[in-house]
Structure 1
Amino acid sequence: MHASLLSVVALVSLVQAHGVIMAVAGISGNSVGYSVDESIARNCTLISPCQQDTSIIRDVEISANTTGVCGRTELDGNIDISVSVESAIATDNITQVTEGSTLTVTIHQVNQDGKQDIRPHQTLNYSLTFNRGRTIYL
């Protein structure tokens, strides 16, 4: 069975509210969300400094071709998927999964915008089973 490379771009739609994908781990290798700056503080809810690398994804900006589907950050602007994927591959920042393997995703939620049942500053851990052809929703 061939291993599949899983880039964080496939997970970007999984985040609700203001959250950052801090870690993705499969059977081999690890990933983080695109434009995530691990040196940014995670103990506050203000835009500066705690949300500087949080993706801002707005349908109106995507429709106007202002940003791509991964949105933008306050820190780096537009998240260019091709550049991000190339960088992730070059730095071996991509996890691998096979059918039936587990994918663990850690999301730091900055605040409650868009999701009422999670407390601010909470770090979430999800374990998922990867099945071929299956879309994973959190």
Structure 2
Amino acid sequence: MNIGPSIFIKGELQGDEDLTIDGRVEGKIELRDHNLTIGPNGKIKADLHANTIVIAGDVQGHAYAKERVEIAPTGRLNGDIAAPRITIADGAHFKGSVDMERTSESARKPAAPVKSEEVRRIPEMKDDVKLQGSRL
């Protein structure tokens, strides 16, 4: 789906398909399992939630992606990023913080417990180990 440059939307956008925005949006955008592209004419004042987010326009808000956030050379992001992978192109503008350990989805899920079979013991080091060969 496409939102053209003459369109202005104020409120919450939700969808079950990929979306490209070249217009203006204020509020919140949620496409959790789909891709969001902010085109070069896009002007966004919203938090973004999507599978992947590509920013080639102007975004004021936070970007939460399951897979990656990419800021193109014409892109501007004033807000935080939470995604496992990010790309910031030469010429792009970014002001905010980056969290690559959690995404909006993974932050809700508790970590899986480690099974005792998966834990391996590290052999103890002996105090009488001697190094031979090179000098420091």
- Shared topology, TM-score over 0.5? no
Q: What is the TM-score normalised by the length of structure 1?
A: 0.19
With a CA cutoff of 8 Å and minimum separation of 6, indicate the structure with the bigger relative contact order. Answer: 1
Structure with greater strand percent: 2
Q: What is the TM-score normalised by the length of structure 2?
A: 0.19
Structure with greater helix percent: 1
Q: Which has the larger radius of gyration?
A: 2
